Structure 1
Amino acid sequence: MQPMSDFNPYTYRDSGDFKVEPVNSSGAFKKFEVSFSSACPTDYPQLDTVTGEYCLPNTDDKPPLVLLVHGVGDTSTVPCRLLAGALTKSGIASLTLTMPIHSRRLPAEMKRDFYSLSAQDWYNLYRISVVNIRQALDWAESRSELDSRHMGVAGISFGGYVSAIALGLDQRLRAGALLFTGGNLEKLARTRSSRKYARYAVSDELYRKNQSRYMAYVAEVAARGFENVSPPQLGYLFDPYTFTPELKTKPVLMMNALWDEYFPKEAVNDFWQASGKPRQVWLPAGHATAWVFYPVIRRQVVDMFRKTLLR
């Protein structure tokens, strides 16, 4: 059970109704489906059930666990499953969660107008996502076959947003891989080249004023702690940049694309610097085409977690 806080929307009271069902097994690993009730109840039944694919290496040792968190679009689960197989071969267990933005969970009315969701809608999706990640850590701590002292998270795009927040909030996460993502949502919205989302159109003067106010808030969070600072606006609560003071304290791998339509290099570099300049790998690609370099991504991610989680 997590304590409640006025300024921390990611606290929760866990239901603890975890279920694990075997799916199949091979010579290298066993596969299970994990399910549990979301600790953020809503008016939409499909949002309130969380499922995940759990891959466990066949080993006599207790393996560490990496949570794999997909981005927008169901196809984003494909690289998660590929990475799950690669991690398992290295002796690391994985749990690929089905997030609220997956078609299985996203309410129909949100699907219809996905690129025009309100700030409140996004706040709810971020909150549910981060709380579901933290619930998965609760589940892992209950599993005797896992070494729950050594857990990490890898997130792709939107999954990277919520993984960064969880990594900054939860000390049970020892390391993270943030793939094709960034922070400072206002700057990303102003500088991205994608036309799927409406361009963030404000005057230069107002933009600079907003950025100054946000950076003052982040500095106060660094000095006093996230739970002790009242946010001037709702978006600050779900901006990964808010959590960079804590990201500095943990091993992080960032992988980004030079011509990413959603995460421009300038904004990504600001996030990288604020996060303590962790290891960063740039790929000559766009947001989706970066997966052409999957062998490079796989090697970097697996090596990172082998060095930080395997003992």
Structure 2
Amino acid sequence: MRQSVVDLKLFIDYLLEKEGNEIFAIGLSLGAILLNLLMGVDNRILKGVSIMGGGNMMRITIEGLYGLSARMYYKRQGLNWETYKEEINNFINYVNEVCRRKKLLTPPHKWYLVDPLTYACFNRPRRIMFINGMFDKVIPKKAVIELWRKLGKPKIVWIPSTHYTIPVFFPYAMKLSMEFFKTNT
């Protein structure tokens, strides 16, 4: 994740040099997670559309569809539901403290630094729109709502989709995205 953000920042440098000063971006799935992370650390993206993304990587990893292998690994490491909830609470407390102090703090775990929730309060001045699936099991709804709230409750559109049926809705998602990018607010 960290290397992807570094690469995307270099791409933004290139775009600003070649194309001008207005950068809008769309991210899908992991790309949406990266977009939210990137917008928290780089203020040059003016608007973003997060499609099928969310925040709180631990929640996505443990509660999402792809979490089975992670759950099995963590169980072997002694992590049970109670320790998981404690880790989630510790992470949320860290995020709240970062927002309260308005600066990044040394985290107890390195993964905190690659989670969009960590940087959400730095992203709030900019515009973001969410497009998420009502039936998505890969990105749990709770992970979407957590990030959405930390970003100040920007516009969110729920479509009748799973993570895998989103291509059916691409024309609609692109129409919404273009309308969002054209607005001045």
- Scaled by the length of structure 2, the TM-score of the pair is 0.89
Mind listing any 5+ residue stretches in structure 1 that lack a counterpart?
1-125
Matches within 5 A, 1:141-180: 141-143=16-18, 146-148=19-21, 150-180=22-52
Matches within 5 A, 1:211-226: 211-226=88-103
**How far apart, CA to CA, are the structure 2 residues paired with 1:229 and 1:241?**
14
State whether structure 2 residue 118 is matched by structure 1 residue 246: no
Mind listing any 5+ residue stretches in structure 2 that lack a counterpart?
none
Paired letter, 2:20: D
Work out which structure has the larger RCO, using CA pairs closer than 8 Å and 6 or more positions apart in sequence: 2
Matches within 5 A, 1:24-35: none
2:149 to 273, 293, 296: 273
Paired letter, 2:52: F
Matches within 5 A, 1:66-85: none
CA contact (8 A) 2:24 2:47 kept: yes
Whose strand proportion is higher, 1 or 2? 1
SS of equivalent residue, structure 2 residue 43: coil
Structure 1 counterpart of 2:59: 187
Matches within 5 A, 1:45-64: none
After alignment, is 183-192 or 280-289 more displaced? 183-192
Matches within 5 A, 1:6-155: 126-143=1-18, 146-148=19-21, 150-155=22-27
SS of equivalent residue, structure 1 residue 175: strand
**How far apart, CA to CA, are the structure 2 residues paired with 1:240 and 1:210?**
17
Structure 2 counterpart of 1:13: none
Paired letter, 1:180: M
State whether structure 2 residue 109 is matched by structure 1 residue 237: no
Alpha-carbon shift at residue 272 of structure 1 (Å): 1.2
**How far apart, CA to CA, are the structure 1 residues paired with 2:135 and 2:128?**
22
In our comparison, the structure showing a higher alpha carbon Rg is 1
SS of equivalent residue, structure 1 residue 287: coil
SS of equivalent residue, structure 1 residue 198: helix
Structure 2 counterpart of 1:107: none
CA contact (8 A) 1:192 1:262 kept: yes
The 3 A distance-change label for structure 1 pair 216 and 196 is: closer
Structure 2 counterpart of 1:294: 170
Paired letter, 2:53: T
Paired letter, 1:134: K
The 3 A distance-change label for structure 1 pair 174 and 217 is: same
CA contact (8 A) 1:247 1:276 kept: no
Paired letter, 2:146: D
Paired letter, 1:297: A
Alpha-carbon shift at residue 255 of structure 1 (Å): 0.6
After alignment, is 131-140 or 203-212 more displaced? 203-212
